[in-house]
Amino acid sequence: MLEVERLRAGYEGADVLHGVSVSVEPSSLVAVIGANGAGKSTLLRAMSGLIRRSAGSLSVDGRRLQFRSEREVVRAGIAHVPEGRQVFANLTVLENLHLGAYAVKDAGEVAARVEDMLGLFPALRSRLRHYAGSLSGGQQQMLAIARGLMGRPKYLLLDEPSLGLAPLVVETIFQVIVELRRRDVGVLLVEQNGWLALSNADRACLLEQGRITLTGTGKELLENPIVVERYLGVGAAIGETERHRGLGEQLRRALAL
């Protein structure tokens, strides 16, 4: 289990998170929702060791991390796919994937992992020799996730994967999340599409001004009047759109298999 307890973290001497605790079990999807500026991305950055942590602890499968370096987090089995894709634009798709497995010395194993990622994201197969900067936004997001998965993490921190993407790309990404659950990978998801995130999450929490103010199952938060009014909007209260409803139902059925 990935466990964060009483985490305080922020920037330039000012805390953004004020005692946040959250846990992610293997083969589970935990969603974090909240307004812009609530500290959602800060939470993932603090967990992956990218920003200052002033208090609190992070443990992986019972072992407490010391945050001596970002490598310690990666070696513990945590991968972070940040908001904004952040692929290496001047490297090819294949080179980006290889960077995700930099610690793997066996060339055959690296090649096998590349093939596995192309199975998850077939759209990347024909683009392997293309520069990452030439890809569409959706393809770059697929590449960013695939690069994170090249290290075979136990836990994936996924920040706003659907932001600005076409519906078909969003569907592909959430289908991959379903597949990760089958592979016993735990996913901590920060997602601007609250309806889609909550309708597929095992557990969820509401983060407000750096504090978790509400927790429960995804279904419980999806039906909570406060969450609907403040963060999901009227459209979510009636199932958002038929497209999202259909996608949500499809993914829920896949998760139940």
Kindly report, residue by residue over 37-77, the tens digit of the pLDDT. 999 999 999 999 898 888 999 999 999 987 666 788 888 99
Phi-psi region of 84 (alpha: psi -120 to 50; beta: other; left: phi over 0): left
Residues composing the chain: 257
The 10s digit of each residue's pLDDT in 176-202 is 998 998 999 999 999 988 888 999 899
Helix (H), strand (E) at residue 236: helix 233-237
The 10s digit of each residue's pLDDT in 123-157 is 999 999 999 999 999 999 999 999 999 999 999 99
Q: Which CATH class is domain 2-77+158-256?
A: alpha beta
Distance from C-alpha of 31 to C-alpha of 183, rounded to nearest angstrom = 18
Instruction: Return the structure tokens found at 95.
Output: 């080179």
Question: Domain segments of the chain: what residues?
Answer: 2-77+158-256, 83-152
Instruction: Return the structure tokens found at 164.
Output: 């600005």
Closest CA to 123 of 180, 160, 187, 168: 168
Return the residue matching tokens 């513990």: 76
Closest CA to 100 of 109, 11, 60, 192: 109
Instruction: Return the structure tokens found at 197.
Output: 């995130």
The DSSP code for 125 is G
Amino acid found at 108: G
Helix (H), strand (E) at residue 9: strand 2-11
3-state secondary structure of 92: strand
Paired strand residues for 216? 204
Give the CA angle between residues 39, 43, 47 to the nearest 5°: 165
What average pLDDT does the chain have?
Answer: 89
Question: What integer pLDDT is reported at residue 5 of this predicted model?
Answer: 96
Residue 8 sits at φ, ψ, to 5 deg, of -120, 130
Alpha-carbon dihedral 164, 168, 170, 172, rounded to 10 degrees: -140
The 10s digit of each residue's pLDDT in 81-108 is 999 888 999 999 999 999 999 989 999 9
The DSSP code for 80 is E
Give the CA angle between residues 205, 207, 210 to the nearest 5°: 145
Q: State if pTM tops 0.75.
A: yes
Question: What integer pLDDT is reported at residue 250 of this predicted model?
Answer: 57
